[in-house]
């Protein structure tokens, strides 16, 4: 089997005004959808970031992959490494740690690796989970991801406001959690923090604890706090949190907090590449790593990360950014075959109102998504939806994720400073 053509379609999907330390989500989230076509008539699907900097790199690589066998993942990596060379780091939105050449290569590799896996599965007539060693679980549990949010974007886009309404205080977040739990059955809850002053977020967590006595809870202010604030919050939430995620920036900062608090510290900001592991392990900076195949280099690399975590006694969870069904399918196959992944994975999927995959395969039951049974990723591309979301991209008026500018429309003097509290 040989790759003959790669079609890359940037798309924009409606996204609610979700708040975080940087500001607020734009009215559309951007993704790139990949169709890798072969001489055998099979098409492998992929999904990654839609930011122009990523898209440009994908377009640079795509023509060079003509003739490659989708089973040759080492060959894929070689072509990408040779083409990008010592590529300057991709600009990122600041919520997944520092940009670096290592992460640029890992991001681009992952974007093309997933469609190759999809092709391998399709060629063999086997679901991807079987190519990764077989199922260790039939369904992958996800956590309910809670966000502070205003009711509408400002200015409001020309589509119906999202159905989640405003959630800027404890009662709004508890109501959001109730809907997440009743509609999706989530068994754990994660609050995106860094929005209110730290001790107000503590009160929101305590309200969640009261409303959901048995749900493991997580709080993630995306490095919005100083070391001292993080320690004070950690002490106050002793026995309440399953883990505290990225309270403060840097490996040294996390290590200083970890020495003083009882709960595990988790990260998708301080340790986001293999080169971060030795310095982090040396000082026991983090006890849980949120893997993300989109920037850790794909599924093979994610499994290598899992092995390192197992070796060093580090827990493994999974990070998400706003994503569509192709990414959810890849996350579910990976988690379905990775025994080290013992924490419920993150997902933004409940906030999605439009997708490029044909509905029916990816459903949440009791908070979990069944590992798709069809060949490869087990999801089918809906070409009409792809075209519509592609048109939406052309019209949306931006080509890069930016949470700061829309926040300044709400608060003109907004400064996304870290740490804030
Ligand atoms: O765990 C995290 O840090 C994230 O999920 C990063 C995301 O970008 C989140 O902050 C968001 O969607 O605003
Ligand atoms: Mg995080």
Measured in Å, residue 86 CA sits from the centre of ligand 1 at 28
Tell me the C-alpha distance between 347 and 321, whole Å: 7
Q: Tell whether omega for the bond before 177 is within 30 degrees of 0, i.e. cis.
A: no
pLDDT of 51 higher than 80: yes
Residues with CB under 5 A from ligand 2 (ion): 220, 245, 268
Percent of the chain scored above 90 by pLDDT? 96
Pocket test for ligand 1, best of 20, 195, 344, 404 (most atoms within 8 A of CB): 20
Please say whether the beta carbons of 1 and 78 come within 8 A: no
User: What confidence score (pLDDT) does residue 320 get?
Assistant: 98
Superfamily of domain 130-370: Enolase-like C-terminal domain (3.20.20.120)
Measured in Å, residue 169 CA sits from the centre of ligand 1 at 19
Tell me the C-alpha distance between 203 and 92, whole Å: 31
User: What confidence score (pLDDT) does residue 85 get?
Assistant: 82
Active-site pick, 57, 103, 153, 192: 192
Q: At which residue do the structure tokens 């395969």 appear?
A: 361
Please say whether the beta carbons of 100 and 86 come within 8 A: no
pTM, rounded to two decimals:
0.98
User: What confidence score (pLDDT) does residue 344 get?
Assistant: 98
Tell me the C-alpha distance between 10 and 5, whole Å: 16
CA distance from start to end of the chain: 55
Confidence of residue 96 (pLDDT cuts 50, 70, 90): confident
Q: Is 167 exposed, middle or buried (0-12, 13-18, 19+ CB in 10 A)?
A: buried
pLDDT of 176 higher than 80: yes
Average of per-residue pLDDT across 150-162: 97
pLDDT of 248 higher than 80: yes
Confidence of residue 88 (pLDDT cuts 50, 70, 90): low
Q: What is the mean pLDDT of the chain?
A: 97
Non-local (6+) Cβ contacts of 136 within 8 A are: 336, 337, 338, 339
Please state the atom number of ligand 1 nearest to the C-alpha of residue 19. 13
Tell me the C-alpha distance between 160 and 166, whole Å: 14
Class at the top of the CATH hierarchy for domain 3-125+383-396: alpha beta
Q: At which residue do the structure tokens 């609610």 appear?
A: 16
Please state the atom number of ligand 1 nearest to the C-alpha of residue 322. 12
Q: At which residue do the structure tokens 């068994």 appear?
A: 187
- Ligand nearest to C-alpha 243: 2
Residue nearest atom 1 in ligand 1 by C-alpha distance:
319
Burial readout 177-207 (b: 16 or more C-beta within 10 A, e: otherwise): beebbeebebbbbbbbbbbbebeebbebbeb
Average of per-residue pLDDT across 111-134: 98
User: What confidence score (pLDDT) does residue 305 get?
Assistant: 98
Tell me the C-alpha distance between 263 and 234, whole Å: 7
At residue 171, φ and ψ (nearest 5 deg) are -70, -35
Please say whether the beta carbons of 8 and 55 come within 8 A: yes
Tell me the C-alpha distance between 417 and 44, whole Å: 41
Q: Which of 171, 270, 256 is nearest to 220 (CA)?
A: 270
pLDDT of 332 higher than 90: yes
Report the SS3 class of residue 388.
helix
User: What confidence score (pLDDT) does residue 69 get?
Assistant: 98
Average of per-residue pLDDT across 355-384: 98
- Ligand nearest to C-alpha 347: 1
Non-local (6+) Cβ contacts of 266 within 8 A are: 218, 220, 243, 244, 245, 246, 286, 287, 288, 289, 290, 315, 317
User: What confidence score (pLDDT) does residue 98 get?
Assistant: 84
- Ligand nearest to C-alpha 246: 2
**DSSP secondary structure string for all residues of 175-230:** HHHHHHHHHH--SSEEEE-SSS-HHHHHHHHHHHHHH-TTS-EEEE-SS-S-HHHH
Whole-angstrom CA distances from 352 to 195, 321, 325 are 22, 12, 10
Measured in Å, residue 221 CA sits from the centre of ligand 1 at 9
pLDDT of 58 higher than 70: yes
Pocket test for ligand 1, best of 192, 194, 406 (most atoms within 8 A of CB): 192
Measured in Å, residue 95 CA sits from the centre of ligand 1 at 6
279: which 2 tokens? 């310095």
At residue 301, φ and ψ (nearest 5 deg) are -65, -35
Pocket test for ligand 1, best of 51, 201, 220 (most atoms within 8 A of CB): 220
User: What confidence score (pLDDT) does residue 312 get?
Assistant: 98
In the beta sheet, which residues pair with residue 167? Answer: 149
Residue nearest atom 7 in ligand 1 by C-alpha distance:
321
Query: Of the ranges 79-93, 115-129, 229-243, which one carries the lowest mean pLDDT score?
Result: 79-93
Percent of the chain scored above 70 by pLDDT? 98
User: What confidence score (pLDDT) does residue 87 get?
Assistant: 62
Domains in the chain: boundaries:
3-125+383-396, 130-370
Known active-site residue 319:
yes
Average of per-residue pLDDT across 27-54: 98
Q: Enumerate helices (H) and strands (E) in the chain, giving the number of each.
A: 14, 13
pLDDT of 383 higher than 70: yes
305-327 confidence digits (pLDDT tens): 999 999 999 999 999 999 999 99
pLDDT of 91 higher than 80: no
ipTM for this prediction = 0.98
Pocket of ligand 1 (CB under 6 A): 18, 20, 95, 192, 220, 222, 268, 319-322, 346
Other CB atoms within 10 A of residue 8 CB: 18
């Amino acid at each position: 089997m040989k790759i003959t053509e790669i079609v890359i379609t940037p798309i924009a999907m409606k996204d609610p005004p979700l708040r975080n330390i940087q500001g607020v989500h734009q009215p559309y989230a951007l993704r790139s959808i990949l169709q890798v076509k072969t001489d055998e008539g099979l098409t492998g699907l992929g999904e990654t970031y839609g930011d122009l900097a990523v898209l440009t790199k994908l377009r640079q690589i795509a023509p060079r992959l003509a003739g490659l066998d989708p089973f040759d993942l080492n060959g894929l990596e070689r072509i990408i490494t040779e083409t990008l060379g010592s590529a300057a780091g991709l600009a990122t939105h600041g919520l997944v740690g520092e940009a670096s050449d290592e992460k640029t290569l890992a991001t681009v590799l992952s974007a093309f690796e997933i469609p190759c896996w999809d092709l391998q599965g399709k060629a063999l007539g086997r679901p991807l989970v079987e190519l990764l060693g077989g199922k260790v679980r039939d369904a992958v549990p996800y956590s309910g991801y809670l966000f502070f949010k205003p009711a509408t974007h400002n200015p409001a886009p020309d589509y119906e406001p999202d159905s989640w309404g405003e959630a800027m205080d404890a009662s709004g977040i508890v109501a959001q959690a109730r809907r997440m739990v009743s509609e999706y059955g989530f068994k754990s809850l994660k609050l995106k923090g860094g929005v209110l002053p730290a001790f107000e977020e503590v009160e929101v967590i305590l309200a969640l604890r009261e409303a959901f006595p048995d749900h493991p809870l997580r709080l993630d202010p995306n490095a919005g706090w100083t070391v001292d604030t993080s320690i004070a919050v950690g002490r106050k939430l002793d026995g309440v949190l399953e883990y505290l995620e990225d309270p403060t920036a840097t490996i040294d900062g996390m290590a200083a907090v970890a020495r003083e608090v009882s709960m595990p510290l988790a990260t998708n900001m301080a340790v986001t590449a293999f080169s971060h592991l030795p310095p982090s392990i040396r000082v026991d900076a983090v006890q849980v790593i949120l893997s993300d195949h989109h920037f850790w280099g794909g599924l093979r690399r994610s499994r290598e990360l899992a092995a390192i975590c197992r070796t060093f006694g580090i827990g493994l969870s999974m990070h998400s950014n706003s994503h569509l069904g192709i990414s959810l399918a890849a996350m579910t196959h990976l988690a379905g075959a990775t025994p080290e992944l013992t924490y419920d994975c993150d997902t933004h999927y409940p906030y999605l109102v439009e997708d490029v995959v044909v509905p029916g395969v990816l459903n949440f039951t009791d908070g979990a998504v069944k590992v798709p049974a069809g060949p490869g990723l087990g999801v089918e591309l809906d070409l009409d939806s792809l075209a519509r979301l592609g048109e939406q991209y052309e019209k949306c008026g931006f080509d890069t994720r930016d949470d700061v500018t829309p926040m300044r429309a709400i608060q003109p003097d907004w400064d996304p400073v870290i740490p804030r509290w």
